[in-house]
Amino acid sequence: MVGRGQGSERGVRIFRDSGDREWEVRAIQEQLTERRTRLLPRPELAQGWLLFTSGDERRRFDALPPGWRLASDALLCRWCEDAAPVLPLELRRRASSSS
């Protein structure tokens, strides 16, 4: 496992899952306008979420747990497993334009 708190920038954690796959996790928190808040798939995301990335794969954990930067690698793995897959931007745009 990669050591706790390692990352190339502040607020990024790097860990390995049980399959020895490396993941980066970061908090996504933005000041959202009312219009942008309405565009979110669920209102609770306005408070932020965790974004897990490994290669081209991205996953979103719908809650921003307090103190997530101090979580154990095992807990980060569990959150990553529970996180929802995020479609690449190009596929999201295609899906929204066809509806």
Each residue of 51-98: pLDDT tens digit? 999 999 999 998 889 899 999 999 999 999 999 999 876 554 555 566
Which residues, other chains included, contact 49 with Cβ-Cβ below 8 Å and sequence gap of 6+? 27, 28, 60, 61, 62, 63, 64
pLDDT of residue 4 exceeding 80: no
Winning range, highest mean pLDDT, from 17-26, 38-47, 80-89? 17-26
Each residue of 25-39: pLDDT tens digit? 999 887 666 666 666
Name the residue among 18, 22, 20, 40 with its Cα closest to residue 30. 40
Are 60 and 86 within 8 A, CB to CB?
yes
More confident residue, 3 or 19: 19
